[in-house]
A and B are shown apart, each in its own frame.
Chain A
């Protein structure tokens, strides 16, 4: 039975896809939203400190399916291995309705103005593909605001002098602060920094028909049982469905974007929840499967007219894979810092995002989410043995008396950090899997070390009696902040989509997710993904209105 033709089919119900579905459906287009995972509730994913999206030693809580979705990961020495979703290096976000937003930490950052003009600000370092975005902060500002109000953000950025101009404050006040916040704030001020309350996609008061956060211990990596965490699964996607114009199909794994004999996009072929091959035709196809899988889907969409995959005439799809190089420091205190009040992360400074002499970019620094006991095991203080009574003593003495400060160093994109499709390894459905390879630019590593030093200095100023740095490796990028693999640009030879997220050589194929980020800011990326989705989707809706749809 052929499926009814629709205006748009969207692959992936995460941050980008969820918002795009809502905008298109509200704009009167008929939409089919395909998601490979399930629509979970918190009751399906109980809080389990060994089985979640952050600590997945016993598996993930919201997908994707462990047995069906391998990837190949290649290290800096060229050694390759097959990785499963719960294993290190896989770069898993999620496989469920809401995508990463179902379990994320929910930090809701706007990038700064300079983050869109990295090449103009710093020049292009050798060996990098650093480039400006074709759009500016000002272009996205109204859409950041829309994301903040429609999805819901709490916090208070008024004390942060570094953010770009904004028309409105955040819609919700910050959560009550915890002990780490009260320890770190005067210390930052003493250093001449500008600390403030992190913006969070988390209700601090009733909002959007959902209750406020109860400040529990298990937030990042977990589903929220009171629905106080705002993701697309409890905001944009229900709004899309409420229009009556959007159909969400779960358990549907896209196989390829289909094209006709002339090479024009016609729809999406996918395996439904019973693993039957179906084809959904549509006027427009939007790929929103997150940076790794979006690149893979385009590369797997090969035809006579597109022998290297869709949008890949210039070998750009999958390149410039980036995430964030997370570094920071630990501090130990001679008094209790632990108060068991979640979500933990609460105070940040943006003093080091730019303007670091000799460095390119930088990072926002913030205190870390609550560390569950198993996560503290690998704190790695120099001199503490990895096992035996010395390790146990360390745990006992310092678990309640430690603070971690860290930040996402902006990565300098390189062409060799990339997603390809593997020649040998196939997934459950017989599709070539994503193959991740490449490393990080030396300039990225340099900045990341400097950020760890800044974090350490902040902890010292806060009275830490012992501090040490957490540094990062220069291996394969990606991770949960994966981005960049279908970058936006004006030049089809060095980018995949135009400044409206449309694939250069196609008039009806779009990529709307983290893949289009040219650079990824020194901030967690999700609010920018949502804002870009609002911006690109609005343009699609307007364009069709012009044509009388």
Chain B
């Protein structure tokens, strides 16, 4: 799907791959897709039009869809956004950060890749097993 490719490319611009994997590998698009049917429900329309506007901007500037541009051109497109497209891009930044740095259970941060990068112990709580309490009756 064109929208999916555009979003994937935008997310990867926001958190690119370097010595550690970026947003694409971490599954940020998967995270966003899942949230768009849940907590981000109200933003479905914003995503649809925002992605379209960014593609339009890419075509206007370089004559190709966003995902088809090279990295440098993509960066330029994102840096030159204005108005609604710019607002959508800030939403996409926030959501990408959530998907990359948030809990893997939501479909992003595959293999806790960002936590490993930051050096946050992935096994979360020392001795937590001792405390896995059975759910108490209310």
Tell yes or no: A472 within 8 A of B by CB: no
* Inter-chain contact B97/A216, CB cutoff 8 Å: no
CB <8 Å contact, A387 and B103: no
Pick the contact of B117 from A42, A387, A396 — CB < 8 Å? A396
Chain A residues with CB below 8 A from B98, complex form: 50, 57-58, 374
Of all chain A residues, the one with the shortest Cβ separation from B124 is A217
Nearest to B16 among chain A residues (CB) is: A389
Q: Please, which residues of chain A bring their CB within 8 A of the CB of B126? A: 214-216
Nearest residue (CB) in B for A40 is B138
List the B residue with the shortest CB-CB distance to A226: B131
> Bound complex: CA of A226 vs CA of B131, how far in Å?
7
Nearest Cβ distance between residue A221 and chain B, in whole angstroms? 13
The answer to whether A216 touches B128 (Cβ under 8 A) is: yes
- Residue-wise, chain B 115-138 has the 8 Å CB interface mask toward A (1 for contact) of 101111100111110010111101
> A395 at interface (Cβ–Cβ under 8 A)?
yes
Chain A hits for B38, CB < 8 A: 58
Contacts known (A57-B94, A388-B14, A400-B119); A214 close to B125, Cβ less than 8 A: yes
CB-defined contacts of A270 to chain B, threshold 8 Å:
none
Interface string of B83-114 (1 = CB under 8 A from A): 00000000001101110011101100000001
B127 touches A50 (CB 8 A): no
Q: Which 5 pairs, one residue from A and one from B, show the smallest C-beta to C-beta distance?
A: A43-B135, A373-B101, A399-B118, A387-B14, A374-B101
- CB within 8 Å of B: which of A303-359? 338, 340
The answer on a CB contact under 8 Å between B35 and A399 is no
Interface footprint category on B: 35 or more
Provided the pairs A41-B135, A57-B98 are in contact, do residues A373 and B39 lie with their beta carbons within 8 angstroms? no
B101 cross-chain contacts in A, Cβ below 8 A: 373-374, 376-377, 395
Contact A373-B125, Cβ < 8 Å, known A41-B136, A225-B133: no
Judge if B18 is at the interface, Cβ distance under 8 Å: yes
Known contacts A374-B97, A388-B75: A214-B127 contact under CB 8 Å: yes
Q: Is the CB of B93 within 8 A of A58?
A: no
Give the residues from 370 to 404 in chain A that come closer than 8 angstroms, CB to CB, to chain B: 373-374, 376-377, 386-389, 391-392, 395-396, 399-400
The answer to whether the Cβ of A48 comes within 8 Å of any Cβ in the partner chain is yes
Q: Besides A58-B39, A374-B102, 9 other CB < 8 A contacts? A: A58-B98, A216-B124, A387-B96, A388-B13, A388-B75, A389-B16, A389-B18, A395-B101, A400-B119
- Residue of A47, A218, A377 with most chain B CB atoms under a 10 A cut-off: A377
B100 to chain A, nearest CB (A): 9
Residue total for A at the interface (Cβ-Cβ under 8 A): 37
| Bound: A388/B10 CA distance, A | 10
Q: Which of A218, A376, A392 meets B18, CB within 8 Å? A: A392
Which B32-52 residues have C-beta < 8 A from chain A?
35, 38-39
Q: Which A residues touch B118, using CB under 8 A?
A: 373, 395-396, 399-400
* Contact, CB under 8 Å: B93 / A387: yes
**Nearest chain A residue, comparing its CB with the CB of B120:** A373
CA distance A376 to B16 in the complex (A): 18
Residues in A neighbouring B94, C-beta threshold 8 A = 57
Cα-based distance from A194 to B93 in the complex (angstroms): 41
Residue contacts A-B, CB under 8 angstroms, 10 given: A39-B138, A41-B135, A86-B39, A373-B101, A376-B101, A377-B97, A389-B18, A392-B18, A395-B114, A399-B120
A387 touches B102 (CB 8 A): no
Q: Is B15 an interface residue (CB 8 A)?
A: yes
Which of A50-108 touch B at CB < 8 Å? 50, 57-59, 86
